[in-house]
Every structure is written in C-alpha cells, then in structure tokens.
Chain A
Amino acid sequence: MNRNIAAGARWIVMIVFAVISLFPIYWMVMSSFRTHEEIFKYTTLSRELFIPVNWTLQNYKDIFLDPSKPFGRYMLNTLFVAVIVTGFGLAVNSMAAFAFAKLRFPFKKILLTLFMSSLVIPYEVIMIPQYLLMRDLDWINSFTALIVPQIVWVFGIFMLVQFFADIPRDILDAARMDGASWMRIYNKIVLPAAVPALITLGIMTFLNQWDSFLWPLVVINEEKKQVIQVAISSFQSLRNISWGKILAATSISSIPILVVFLFLQRYYVQGITMSGVKG
C-alpha cells in the first residue's frame, strides 16, 4: 500500500517536472506558427491558448526569404564555427583534463587554481583587451577570431577531470608496466572509457558556440559572416519587435542542437558511467 503511494508520488513528480521542462519550448514552437496579432491575443485558459488558430508559415518564410539577412547563411556560419571549436576543444581540453586528473606532477595545485581563475573573471571586462588583441593579430572580421580564442574551455576541463578521476590509477600503472606510453594510455584507455563524458562536453561546447553572441557581435563587421544569435537579435528594434520572426528563428535555431542531442542521447540514457573500466 505504502509502496504504491510512493511509486505514484514518484511518477507524479517525474511528470510534473517533465511538463515544466517541455512547456516553454512547446509554447515557443507553437507561437512561431501564429500570426503577430495572435501571439498575445488569448488570455484565458482555452484551446486557443495552447494551439494556434490560424496556422501560418509566414514567420518562417519571412526569416528565410529576406535576401538582406540570409538566415541560412548565418546558420551555416555558426555551424562551421561551432563544429571546429568543438573538435579542437575536445582534443585540447581532454588532454589537459587527463593530466590534471590522472598524472602526478609538480605545481599541479597552482596550475589548477590558475586555470580556475579564468572561469572566475567576468568576461565582459576582458572583452575589450581581447578585442585589441584580435586587432593586433589582424583577426577582426574573420572566423579565426571566433574560433581560436574559444578552443580552450576550463569549465570543460574541470568537467572531464570529474569523469577521468573515476578511472582507477591501477589500470594506468598496469599499462605503464606493459610499456605503454602516456599518449597511448590516453588514447587507448582513457578516451574510449570517457566517450559519454566527451559527448556531453561536445554538446556543451557546441551549444556554447551556438549561443555565442557578444563576441561575434563585436569582432565580425560583415553581415555575410555574422552568426545566428546576432541575426536573431536584429529582429528586435526599438520601434518594432517582430516576435513572430524571433520565435520562428529561435525554434529553427534550436533544431540542430536538438537533433544532435537526440541522436547522441542514448549515451546518457544508457548511463554516463566509467564502469566499463572498473578494476
């Protein structure tokens, strides 16, 4: 009896949180199919509140068919930058994380603290010096400026340290005894064991780049090279906020991430764990 109540309560909690998680996204997508007039029209609990009355694709047409703002191009630009940053980021950050998690070396604590300090500084204040650096490197208005400074991500290093720390040191020592180099150990033992963690970090990095806004805004001076978040914010002008366009653009821009995520989610669903290499 008690058991049933507990199980029931458990399901209710799970479902409530599922609804909370999904509802704002559902609202966004549904509203993107509404006309400007309709988005804010219904203010009582009714069917119309949840489902568009006059379904329209106009918002989507507006964002894709505007030649002065090639939305598809912006998506490709962003995709390009995000993929490259993610690829290099995974390599660079996982290597550093492996060293911090598993190797013994002097000044480790100091280095860790130094790395951590880069997470603590508010980005807005180093943006100007960073911009001056881009100018001196002659990277203004190039994708290089969007990519190279973004590769290292200390948050990602810390996260991977978490996962790597679960790999028993004994296994690594055993491999050393067998004559494997550290590079080989990293390649053959650590990375395969950490695939789910790497995927998590990959998604986070990709997302971070997909989200990136202030930096591309200041370093890119040419509309053709602009990224998606800057384009979305341009639908909002002082005198006219095109909510329909904004909602359509946000819905569309969430799709690549959702696809990547749904494609990879079985790795979490099967459980992010290091148990594969448990001693």
Chain B
Amino acid sequence: MQRLRFAAYDKQESRAAFLFIIPAFALLAVFIFYPMIQALWISFQNYNLISSHSSFAGMDNYRKLLSDGSFGDSLWHSFYFTLVVLPVQTAISLGLAILVQKKFRGVGFFRTVYFIPVVVSFAIASTIFRLIYNKDYGMLNVILKGIGLPSVDFLSNPDISMLGIIVLCIWRAMGFVMVIFLAGLNNIPESLYEAAHVDGASPIQRFFLITLPLLKRTMAFVVIITTMDALKIFIPIYITTSGGPAGSTSTVVHFIYETAFKQMNMGYAAVAAFLFFFLVLIISIVQLRVFRTDVEY
C-alpha cells in the first residue's frame, strides 16, 4: 500500500469521486470562493461601503489593523470565549452522551430533552436569555435571589458579561454535540468494555483506556467545529449585548460587522476578516494534524 501511494489511485474511482464532489464544488466556487476573492481584493483598497469609487491602499490597511487596539481586544475576546467554551462544552456534551448512552427506561425522553435547545433558533435563544438575564427583573436573578444567592449582572458587568454569552451558547449547542458523541460512542464495540470489565478495570479506567482513544475521530470533529464556530461567534452578541457592556463582548466578527456596516469602512473590515481567516485556518489545520487518525478516509 504505502509504496504505491500515488500510483494507487484507481482511475475510475478518482473520476467517480470528482463527479461526486463537483456539484458541491461548483456551488462553493461561485457563491463562496468568488466572493471571498473579491473580499480579498477589497482588503487592499480604501473601500467605503457605499462609495462607487475606491483607491488602492496596498498594505496600508493591514499595517493599520495590526496596531489597532480595538481589533486586538476583539481577538482576545474571541479567543477567551473559545478557550472557555471548547473544554466546558465538550466535557458537558460528552458527559451527557455517556449518561444517556445505555438504554434504560426514559432514555429517549432525556435524549430528546437535551436536544431541544438545538432546535430553538439562535436569534430566539439570544432574545430569551437577554430577558432572563436582566439584573433586576430577569427570571435568573429572581430565582437566585429567591434561593438566597447573589444576583449576577451578565448584561451590565464587563467582567462577567462574556460568561453570560458562554452559558447561552453552551446551553444551545450541548445537545447537538451530545448527539455527535452518542454516534461515536455507539460505534465502540461492547466487547471491549466487557473484556476490560473482566480484567477488573474501573469505570474511570475504562473511560480513559477505551472510550477516549476510540472517540478520537469524533473528538477531532467536535473540537475543530466547535473551535471554528466559537471563534466566529456573533449572533448572540449582536442580539444580547451589541458588543457591550463597555466593549467587553466585542468579538472579531462583531468588530468586522461594526467596521463594515456602521463605520462603512469595508476595506478595513475585509483586512480584519482575512487576518482572522488565516489565523483560524492555521489553527484548524494544526488541530487536524494533532488529531490525525489512523482511520483512513
């Protein structure tokens, strides 16, 4: 196998593969890649959103952005968000998946219930949480006060506002990730667990010796997708806080949106988008390498 690596492609198989891919590729090329190339071109220009003429700016926009403090802040907010969401959401989702993996009375109910937040639209979920979070009259704080706990001011305290967004996002996504993990768990042969049980492995040992290693590919998918989505977080921020309080939840995409549509500085927004694009792409490729699986695609 190894020695024949490149020559080993079956001609017919390759052709079939390209035919399978072509519809998707054609649509991507027209509706995503072509606009992306245009956006890349815009990033080298002084391009006002509503103006019909633009001038070439070369690397000016790039230079300026690199010294722009608010872009730096927004990068940090995006990464902070991701650094919290990635481990916490993955752990909760995996935990839920393990809890409801085995069949028992009511298992269907719990699986369904955990998935339900996924089917609430993100915009709607954000609106609901915005109301629930209100410091004085939101349900969350009414309940916290009712059971004698201090209230939390997610929407007006810059120190914890991002946590409010994080809770909202995890609430909405955990059911989906749980389903992905469930699929992965179900593919682990029961016989492995039985063998481990016979060998006297504790549940914790079984988790670390069997479950985690065999979930590697699923884990790779979850980690890569979660990272990308988390870094690009925007909708809940747009709806709940508009980047506030005091700019504490302004993420990269929020920065891009504000720059392009409020400040109408399209060239500058495109620069931010492409710097961010390469950053995330590198992260994703590194993650793909780290998680490189033995399973052949």
Show the binding face of A for B, using Cβ within 8 Å: 10, 13-14, 17-18, 20-22, 24-25, 27-28, 31, 40, 42-45, 49, 91-93, 95-96, 98-106, 108, 111, 113-126, 128-130, 132-133, 148-149, 151-152, 154-155, 157-159, 161-163, 165-166, 169, 181-183, 186, 196-197, 200, 203-204, 207, 210-211, 213, 229, 232-233, 243, 246, 250, 253-254, 257-258, 261-262, 265-266, 268-269, 271-275
Contacts and interface: CB of A to CB of B under 8 A. Distances in A.
A268 B113 contact: no
Contact of A22 (B116, B132, B277, B295): B116
A162 B217 contact: yes
Interface stretch (B23-31, B81-89, B155-163): B23-31
B186 interface: yes
Listed from nearest, the 10 A-B pairs whose CB atoms lie closest are: A45-B146, A129-B35, A125-B273, A273-B186, A96-B24, A99-B20, A129-B38, A149-B31, A269-B108, A105-B17
A98 B20 contact: yes
Given A45-B146, A130-B35, A250-B128, A186 B186 contact: no
Contacts, number: 283
B142 A125 contact: no
A101 B293 CA distance: 13
A25 B281 contact: no
Given A122-B276, A128-B260, A104 B13 contact: yes
B230 interface: no
Contacts of A129: 34-36, 38-39, 42
Interface residues of B, number: 104
A87 to B, nearest CB: 13
Contacts of B91: none
Given A24-B171, A169-B296, A258-B119, A124 B260 contact: yes
Interface of B: 6, 8-10, 12-14, 16-18, 20-21, 23-25, 27-28, 30-36, 38-39, 42, 49, 92, 95-96, 99-100, 107-108, 110-125, 127-129, 131-132, 134, 136-137, 139, 142-143, 145-147, 171, 175-176, 179-180, 182-184, 186-187, 217-218, 221, 224-225, 228, 232, 234, 252-253, 256-257, 260-261, 266, 269-270, 272-274, 276-277, 280-281, 284-285, 295-297
Nearest to A116: B284
B224 to A, nearest CB: 8
B119 A183 contact: no
A104 B120 contact: no
B84 to A, nearest CB: 17
Contact of B127 (A155, A246, A258): A246
29 contacts: A24-B117, A25-B120, A28-B128, A44-B142, A96-B25, A99-B17, A104-B8, A106-B6, A108-B17, A111-B21, A113-B285, A121-B32, A122-B276, A124-B261, A126-B36, A126-B38, A149-B30, A158-B224, A159-B221, A162-B180, A169-B296, A229-B123, A250-B127, A254-B119, A265-B108, A268-B182, A269-B107, A272-B183, A275-B187
A212 to B, nearest CB: 9
B20 A162 contact: no
Given A22-B113, A105-B18, A272-B186, A243 B273 contact: no
Nearest to A113: B285
A13 B174 CA distance: 15
B28 A118 contact: yes
